[in-house]
Amino acid sequence: MPIELISGAIGFILTLLIFSYLIGDNPLFRSAVYIFIGVSSGYAAVVVWHNVLMPKLFRPLATADPNQLVVLVIPLMLSVSLLAKLSPRISWLGSFAMALLVGVGAATALSGAVVGTLLPQSRAAMNAFASPTFLELIEGVVMLAGTVLTLIYFQFSAKRAGDGSVKRNVIIEMLAWGGRVFIAITFGVLFAGVYMAALTAMLERLSALINFVKPFLGL
């Protein structure tokens, strides 16, 4: 049996299993989800083993360079300590490594957001006013307003009123409302993009189903 026919049959069956969710959550759909999670986990494990652990940890450990061994012992010990999280009694052994992972991850995400999003967005908003045409000026004003109002929306300083309630400045509240408008528009555009991507994937799967069945129907 040709490999194309086998792969096509597997894709056909898995697609039908996923589409069975249209009639509600059922064992067929869950089976497809479990298969997807298992294959994804196995693929990730293989990639980590071949691209991270083997070339960057175990192979260098096999060398006789003592300086390199000292450097590699620390991440090896931290990695082994994470396995202690599997047991509640000794899970505290992996707390330091987990805290290190969370701290480094948070710092990386924050610096990435500032360097990769906030600064380029601010620079783009300012560069839009460098010798612009009328249309470019309008675009620059909208871009600058969206950037500033969105940042103001996340300004949470407030003062306590006489009745004990906490209220922001009226002007800040009005500007923050404009920021909410830009955020809502952004979420709408993102949702539309996700919806179109999902619709494209669904149409591709339907087309694959039709193309697989056609030869058996003599079409």
Integer Cα distance of 201 and 119 in angstroms: 34
Lowest mean pLDDT among 11-15, 134-138, 162-166: 162-166
Report yes or no on 194 lying in a domain: yes
103 pLDDT above the threshold of 90: yes
Beta bridge partners of 166: 160
- Amino acid 166: pLDDT: 61
125 pLDDT above the threshold of 80: no
DSSP 69-83: HHHHHHHHHHHHHHG
| Model pTM score | 0.61
Place of tokens 């450990």: 61
Lowest mean pLDDT among 26-40, 69-83, 103-117, 160-174: 160-174
Integer Cα distance of 118 and 151 in angstroms: 10
Arithmetic mean of pLDDT, 106-119: 87
Report yes or no on 8 lying in a domain: no
Alpha helices in the chain (DSSP H): 3-19, 27-48, 59-61, 66-82, 95-113, 119-127, 134-153, 170-217
Report yes or no on 80 lying in a domain: no
- Amino acid 129: pLDDT: 75
Q: How many domains does the chain have?
A: 1
Report yes or no on 218 lying in a domain: yes
Report yes or no on 63 lying in a domain: no
Lowest mean pLDDT among 59-68, 96-105, 144-153: 59-68
Integer Cα distance of 20 and 13 in angstroms: 11
Place of tokens 């990386």: 108
Cα(first)–Cα(last) distance of the chain, in Å?
21
Q: Which of 144, 210, 218, 201 is nearest to 18 (CA)?
A: 201
Range of the domain at 180: 128-219
Mean pLDDT of the chain: 83
Report yes or no on 91 lying in a domain: no
Evaluated on CA atoms 9, 45, 19, 201, the torsion sign reads negative
Other beta carbons within 10 angstroms of residue 32's beta carbon come to 19
- Measured in whole angstroms, the distance separating CA 34 from the mean position of its chain's CA atoms is 21
What would the two tokens of residue 159 be? Answer: 């003062």
Report yes or no on 18 lying in a domain: no
Place of tokens 């045409």: 133
Report yes or no on 183 lying in a domain: yes
Read off the pLDDT of residues 21-74 as tens digits, 9 standing for 90 and up.
Answer: 888 888 889 999 999 999 999 999 999 899 988 888 777 777 756 777 777 788
Rg (CA), the chain: 27
